[in-house]
Structure 1
Amino acid sequence: MSQAVKRGLKLILGADALVESTWRTTRRVVRVSLNVIGFSVSSVCVANTFFNVVGYPASISGGSMRPCLNHTSHYPTLDWLRLNLDWVFVNVWSARHWNQFERGDIVVFLSPKDPNDFVIKRLIAFEGDVILRPEGELEVPKGHIWVEGDNSRNSIDSKHYGPVPLGLVFAKATHVIWPPQNWKKIQPSLENHVDKDIREIDSGHCMIISHL
């Protein structure tokens, strides 16, 4: 024990035995505190790595993905925990390579309008695909995708801000994990987004007949 610290404690406490006891107690408290801090920091680092590399659960706000997500409200008395909403697993690992994506997947990306806002929509078309809309044809440019909400009348998506850069897409929603009665794996689907069959035009590119 440091002699300076010992002298200071002795002046305050006035007894050698009490000084030794206080010092031992202080060392134990400091040791335990450092262990707790170290464990907490390690846990945060592990959790942060898992979230950034593998994925994490997330609640879905709004009605743009109805009827697939948030079709009905659940447990309204637990809205302060956001348990009145659907929760999905945001699979970051699945977004490592674009060959793992399919038309009809539900993707998560940074909003082209607000980089602080995360958006969830359905992937409708890849680069090179042609979107046929009432105002004419639009070819999805290289390095972009076309996304739309399932509830087209209540969705701000590519119909409003155009194709989304691939660099903004960081995950896809792979499972519904809340509420329990809706647990399921989310399957790729374009059922609510095409008026006719998708027609291949060349080299794997497709013409998509998009809703209004």
Structure 2
Amino acid sequence: MQMAMSHGKRIVNYLNKKKRDISYAVIGASLGAYFITSRVVTTAVVAGQSMTPTFNKNSTKSRVLVDLMTPVTKVKENDIVLAHDPEESDQYIVKRVTALAGQFVDVDEDCVGAYVQKYAYQGKLTVPTGYCWVEGDNKSKSHDSREFGPLPLGLIKGRVLFTLWS
């Protein structure tokens, strides 16, 4: 009888240890996943037609992989970035960087936005230090720097690496 109780305790202790090990593994995996998706890479949904044909050519939404590790100071012209919308802080935008600090932006007479109408001089604008100029690939359907002006580099969350699915 004593031996059966001792064996039962060992089984209970063994099961408790396994539960604890599984709990630690789940917690560790969750923390690891959180760290990776908040500091290394994440995904984002690109909705709308502002980046057509790069995204959403055959659908209304594309999911993209975003690099969160590249510092904003390494953003280059032609990179596609995920950034906080400068006009709606709880929203994100995905746009192409078309000019960096110190570069001139040529105003497209066919797609002039409110900012461009107000600040362009002889068909040109200069991007100030600490900012970049972003535009959608589909200019006629894009709300971008032509409307809200240069994008502060601090609003850039990451650089789009590629489309996961569309």
TM-score by length of 2: 0.77
State whether structure 2 residue 87 is matched by structure 1 residue 87: no
Alignment of 1:40-119 (within 5 A): 40-73=26-59, 85-93=61-69, 95-96=70-71, 98-99=73-74, 101-119=75-93
Q: What residue in structure 1 maps to residue 132 of structure 2?
A: 145
Q: Find the structure with the greater CA-based Rg.
A: 1
Q: What residue in structure 1 maps to residue 163 of structure 2?
A: 176
Identity among equivalent positions (%) equals 26
State whether structure 2 residue 143 is matched by structure 1 residue 167: no
Aligned mates of 1:103, 1:26 — CA distance in 2:
62
Aligned mates of 1:151, 1:29 — CA distance in 2:
59
Aligned mates of 2:8, 2:88 — CA distance in 1:
56
Q: Against the structure 1 CA distance between its residues 145 and 47, is the aligned structure 2 distance closer, same or farther, given a 3 Å change threshold?
A: same
Q: How far off its partner does 1:97 sit? A: 5.3
What are the ranges of 5 or more consecutive residues in structure 2 without an aligned counterpart? 110-116
Aligned residues: 153
Aligned-CA RMSD value: 2.4
Q: How far off its partner does 1:64 sit? A: 1.2
Q: What residue in structure 2 maps to residue 193 of structure 1?
A: none
What are the ranges of 5 or more consecutive residues in structure 1 without an aligned counterpart? 1-14, 74-83, 180-212
In the TM superposition, what whole-angstrom CA distance separates every residue of 1:140-194 from its partner, at most 9, and x where no partner exists?
2210111111112222211221111111112111222225xxxxxxxxxxxxxxx
